[in-house]
A and B are shown apart, each in its own frame.
Chain A
């Protein structure tokens, strides 16, 4: 079984060997990632259907790259620098063209911590591009991600290995790779507050970021109502091939979106009902289950978290802004300007 990172403790390696999964858990230096050409010039690496953790080497997100006539764009870089290096090796085996763009679809660790591998990759240093709110989101989480890398993966990284974008997308941005234009679109708060999709016009392929989960239970870290609204817009994009953030590539994007919407709508309905019945957040978490008959993986890992986040959002929805009284200025403690 190849590919245990050398930095991983022996005990962990034992755990991995004893695990069920046949897939290589983590790429070592010199390793390459398995890739599939889903459309001409559009390559996808399928991450494992698992939570970001040492048992899978952090290789859980779908990653991709698209080759134009002039250069290559990378879409997400994986959950550790080692995953990023293996993706880079796969790209270099596929094409001699330089990488001109590294696109981060949102600031979650399984999608961005491979960025370091692409700094000064090849002869031309690529630009890093992300949603306009990506930098703030990643900066707020960086300490925790570095801590989790050390605690869970045994990897000691520093601030220098966290790569931030030099180019940001407020609404949309076209990137020309040479006879191939990618349309990047920044979305309002949905899965996170910094979701960015990538659409290859030539093959009508849509990389949805984590706005779409397939098989893997959707994970809420933004706004439930926002996500449902954004999905309605996503469904209008004329895509023949849809690459979700997690799970299998689909040629029927609207069916995949409908399956996800069904879960998120049930989550909304059940959580609203709990709030209406005056159940506390903990009672809601303990009582709301994944809808029977659905076939989601990782429900036990993420559903309780989703109920927690849904409750904290939805408990505010019937409260009018006028409920708050204007903050009176106190003579004893002068009011300072807001940040």
Chain B
């Protein structure tokens, strides 16, 4: 039984928007966990839990609130698809306010905090993350009445030559900031519409040692995403380099009449990118 050597520190940075970016960074060599046993006991999770939720109770998710779909094995450590499905309809009186995505054994375990509104229609989210270690992955839904529900899954490391850095650092920088906002199909009236946001960005962790300067290269990543429809927020996300290169988000919004879907992205250098899409209701 190997011991865990984990050092964590809490970083808070006031974002220029309403949300507070919260990151918990852990460094050090941690031994493998090769089984999915006892996810609650993980020391990283204990720290994350204390920092985000204090002693609030967290219910084990039943599938009628939130479920998490991840592959059993991280085939490509740089690109692991993750889907979070929710079963509550977003209504003005009862809705999922936030979804936290935690990857225990990533260098920065708090990988994303998504915020939704009644105008989201449905608080589902799909994205892709970096996973190099055997790890528990958690999706925690916070409803507007403050209740917490957690779904947990276990992902095996990829092994072999697969690693979290991107495939072509030079190409990633060259296409920085390309974006595409699109909708999938056309929803019926007053039904949630599926949309996808693609952002070309290296989203790197900065954990590489520069061989010349002997310094660690600075992290460079998308830190915030805000999507509105007809001027009303439908999805926002505080994210970091746990999200794969070229961040990709699939989410819903509730179209009310024709309107403009608008995505604004802010990266860790405070570069801002935006993309818009004119949406027309089905005839």
Contact = CB atoms under 8 A, between A and B. Distances in A.
A325 B270 contact: no
A201 to B, nearest CB: 30
B81 A309 contact: no
Nearest to A318: B180
Contacts of B270: 330, 333-336
B270 to A, nearest CB: 4
A142 B216 CA distance: 12
Interface stretch (B92-100, B113-121, B153-161): B153-161
B255 interface: no
Contacts of A336: 269-271
Interface stretch (B41-49, B206-214, B231-239): B206-214
B32 A151 contact: yes
B269 A305 contact: no
A141 B163 contact: yes
A148 B74 CA distance: 14
Nearest to B275: A325
Contacts of A223: 167-168, 171
Given A141-B163, A285-B81, A312-B79, A327 B273 contact: yes
B14 to A, nearest CB: 11
Given A142-B208, A147-B132, A333-B16, A309 B79 contact: yes
B130 to A, nearest CB: 10
B269 A324 contact: no
Given A304-B75, A316-B198, A319-B198, A280 B250 contact: yes
A308 B275 contact: no
A45 interface: no
A323 B69 CA distance: 31
Contacts of B164: 144
B230 interface: no
B104 interface: no
A148 B77 CA distance: 12
A305 to B, nearest CB: 4
Given A285-B71, A328-B272, A309 B161 contact: no
A218 to B, nearest CB: 13
B158 A335 contact: no
A109 B161 CA distance: 6
Nearest to B178: A324
Interface residues of B, number: 64
A53 B157 CA distance: 13
> Size band of the A side of the interface?
35 or more
A324 B81 contact: no
Contacts of A313: 167
A51 B158 CA distance: 11
A338 B180 contact: no
B165 A140 contact: yes
Interface in A153-198: 159, 164, 189, 192-193
A150 B29 contact: yes
Contact of B75 (A53, A140, A308, A334): A308
A52 B269 contact: no
B207 A308 contact: no
A221 interface: yes
Contact of B161 (A52, A150, A152, A334): A52
A281 B128 contact: yes
A316 B31 CA distance: 37
B240 interface: no
Interface string A191-235: 011000000000000000000000000010111000000000000
Given A52-B161, A151-B31, A335-B271, A282 B177 contact: no
Contact of A144 (B71, B132, B176, B245): B132
A108 interface: yes
Contacts of B79: 281, 308-309, 312
Contacts of B60: none
A315 interface: yes
A51 B160 contact: yes
Given A151-B32, A315-B198, A324-B275, A219 B184 contact: no
Given A282-B71, A321-B175, A164 B211 contact: yes
Interface of A: 51-53, 108-110, 133, 135-137, 139-145, 147-148, 150-152, 159, 164, 189, 192-193, 219, 221-223, 278, 280-282, 285, 301, 304-305, 308-309, 312-313, 315-316, 319, 321, 323-325, 327-328, 330, 332-339
Interface pairs A-B: 6 shortest CB-CB:
A140-B165, A140-B208, A305-B75, A108-B161, A282-B81, A333-B270
8 contacts: A53-B159, A136-B208, A144-B164, A192-B167, A193-B168, A308-B79, A316-B178, A333-B272
